[in-house]
Structure 1
Amino acid sequence: MSIQRRQFVAAVGSAAVAGIAGCTAFRSREDGGITGETLRLTTTTSTYDTGLLDELNAPFEDRYGVTVEAIGQGTGAALETARSGDSDVVMVHARSLEDEFLESGYGINRRDLMFNDFVVAGDADDPAGISGSADVETAFAEIADAESTFVSRGDNSGTHAKELEIWDAAGVGDGEFGEWYLDGGGGMGEILTQTNQGGGYTLADRGTYLSMRSDIGLEIHVEGPIEDGPDLLANPYGIVAVNPAVHDTVNYDLAMAYIGYLTGLESRERIEEYAVEGEQLFFPEAVSEEPNFQQYVPEGWDGAGDD
C-alpha cells in the first residue's frame, strides 16, 4: 500500500467503521485526505436517472478531492461489471442477486442503504381496469387476460427481477406471454418513455416515475407500500464493496469510505431531503436505533456450522 493510501486509511478508517452504525464524521481533504483517485461505482439506472447520485456524490468528491465514476446499469449488469473487477462498489436493488454476489465471494461488507417502492404505471384510460387494485398479482393477471400492452425492462435489472417475481405469483408463465408483452430492453427512464409513447403498462420504481411524471402522461394504477400498497412492491437498495481478495486492483479503501459516507447522518439527510416537485423519492434506512444485522449476510443464513 502506498504512503498516500496509508494516510487515507488513517484519515477515514474510523469513519468507515462508524458507517456500520450509520454515524460517520468526516475530515476535510486539508486534514489528511487523498486527491486524484477515482472510485468506480456501478449502480441502478433509477439512482442515476433521478439525479440522486449527483446530490450524494458531489460532497464526497469535494471533501476528498476524488472522483466518483458512476455507471448506470441494471442490477444484473452492475453486478457482472463488479464480478469482472471493473467496479469498486455496487449500489443495487435486488436482494436475491446481491446474495448470489456475496455467496460467491465477490462482495463483502454489504449495507442497507435506502428504499422506495415499485408502482404499476400506465395509460390514463386503464384498458385492463386495474386501477386502485390492492393486489398486484391480480392486477398482473388481469393485464395478461386483457392482453393489454406491458413493457418489460427485460434486462435482468432489479426491476425486471421484481416483475418476473410478480408474474410468477400471478400464475402467468413465459408461455403465456403474447405479442402484448414487449421487451423494452432499456433503463427505467427509457422504459417509461416507451410506455408513454406506445401505450400500455409497466412496472417502475416510484423515484424514477416521480422524476419523470411531468413529462409523461402515465398514471399510477397500483401503489406500492409507501402509499399502503402491497409489500410485494417494496424496493430496498443495498451497497456492497467488491472483495479485494478476489480482485486486488479494486480501490477497497475508497469504497469503504464511500460506504461509510452514504450510510452516515449527512447522507441520510440528503436522501430524505431529495425531492422532485415536493415528492420525496427515496427513504434512508442505514441509520437505525435497532439495526438489522441480517443485512450483512445472504438471506436465510444463520451462521450455524456442522459440529
Structure 2
Amino acid sequence: MNRFKKMWCAVVVVLTFIVGAASLAAAAPKALILATTTSTQDSGLLDVLIPAFEKQSGYFVKTIAVGSGQAMAMGKKGEADVLLVHSPDDEKKFMVEGFGVNRRLVMHNDFVIVGPPNDPAKLRGTKTSAEAVKKIAHSGSLFLSRGDNSGTHAKEKKLWKAAGINAEGQKWYQQTGLGMGETLNVAAEKKGYALTDRGTYLALIKRLRLEILVEGDPSLLNVYHVIEVNPVKWSKVNVAGAKAFADFMVSQKVQKIIGTFGVDKFGAPLFFPDAGKKPETLGL
C-alpha cells in the first residue's frame, strides 16, 4: 500500500509539473522581432509606441535598431518578423525580390544638414543640399557619415552623386559606422557636418553643439514604411504578430500619436503621419 501511495504521489508531482509548465508557456507573452532604424529608436518614438502595442496585443517585442540596410538584410535571412525602415529604393528592391509583403506607408519627416555654429564651409543660407555638399567638399571641411548602409547613408550617397563628388577616401570625409545619435555625437565632438533626420536631431539637441544649416530641399524628404517579412521565404516568421504590428502602426489611434509626438517638448512634431495616403502625394 505504501509503495502504491508513493507511486501515485510521484505521478501527481509529475502531472502537476507538466500542467504548471503548460500554464506558464500559455501565459508567456508571444515574441515578435522588429528590425528598425536607429532614428525611430533615438528619437524616442518607439519608447512610446512599443509599450502601447505590447499592452494592446499581448506580444513581447524584441526591437533591433540598426540601419535600414541591415534591417532588410535581417529580413532576407528570416531573422526578423517585421521591418520599420526608411530607404525607399532598397525597400522596393526588397519587395520585388519577394522578401516582404504588405509594404505600407507610415510617416515622414525630413533630413537636414547640421554643422558647427561657426559654419566653416559657409552653408548657412544655401538653398539645395547638392550645393551644400559641394561647399563642404571644396572647403575640405569635416563631414561625418554613418557609413552603415542605413537609409540616411543611402540618402547621403545620393547627395554626393547629385553634386558630382566622390567623397570616399577623402581626408575630410569620415565614416563612423554608428547609428544616427552616436554619429551626431561624434560630429559635435569633432565640430563637423552631418546629414541627419530631423527627429533624431531634435531629440538630442540639448547635448549637441550643432545647428541646422540646410533644410527644406524637397530631395531631403524622409519616408518610413512598415513591411511584413514574407512567410513563404521563411516559414518561422511570426505572421500574425507582424501583421498585428503593421496594422497597429497604420491605425488611426497610432497615427494620431505619431502626429503629436514631440510637440510638447519641441513645439513641433518629429514625424508626420501618412497612413492611407497615396505615395505620389509625397513624390514617391
**TM-score for the superposition, normalised by structure 1:** 0.80
Q: 2:155 aligns with which of 158, 162, 186?
A: 162
String of CA shifts for 1:73-108, please: whole Å, max 9, x gaps: 001111111111110000100001101111111101
- Give the paired residue count: 255
Residue 211 (structure 1) aligns with: 203
Which 4+ runs in 1 deviate beyond 3 A? Answer: 291-295
Checking the alignment, whether the CA contact within 8 Å between 2:57 and 2:244 is kept in structure 1 is no
Is structure 2 residue 103 aligned with structure 1 residue 114? no
Residue 7 (structure 1) aligns with: none
Residue 184 (structure 1) aligns with: 176
Q: Distance in 1 between matches of 2:252 and 2:57?
A: 18
Q: 1:199 aligns with which of 191, 195, 199?
A: 191
Query: For the pair shown, which has the larger CA radius of gyration, 1 or 2?
Result: 2
Is structure 2 residue 37 aligned with structure 1 residue 44? yes
3-state SS, counterpart of residue 232 of structure 1: helix
Q: Distance in 1 between matches of 2:261 and 2:58?
A: 24
Residue 284 (structure 1) aligns with: 273
Q: Distance in 1 between matches of 2:149 and 2:241?
A: 28
Q: Which letter maps to 1:116?
A: N
Counterparts of residues 132-147 of structure 1 (less than 5 Å): 132-147=125-140
Deviation of 1:287 after TM superposition, in Å, equals 3.5
Deviation of 1:278 after TM superposition, in Å, equals 2.5
3-state SS, counterpart of residue 259 of structure 2: helix
Checking the alignment, whether the CA contact within 8 Å between 1:90 and 1:240 is kept in structure 2 is yes
Is structure 2 residue 257 aligned with structure 1 residue 265? no
Deviation of 1:259 after TM superposition, in Å, equals 0.7
Deviation of 1:293 after TM superposition, in Å, equals 8.7
3-state SS, counterpart of residue 49 of structure 2: helix
Structure with the higher fraction of residues in helix conformation: 2
**Structure 1 spans left out of the alignment, 5+ residues:** 1-33, 224-228, 300-307
Identical residues among aligned pairs (%): 41
Residue 25 (structure 1) aligns with: none
TM-align CA RMSD: 1.7
**Structure 2 spans left out of the alignment, 5+ residues:** 1-26
String of CA shifts for 1:260-290, please: whole Å, max 9, x gaps: 11101000111011103333111110034xx
**TM-score for the superposition, normalised by structure 2:** 0.86
Checking the alignment, whether the CA contact within 8 Å between 1:130 and 1:222 is kept in structure 2 is yes
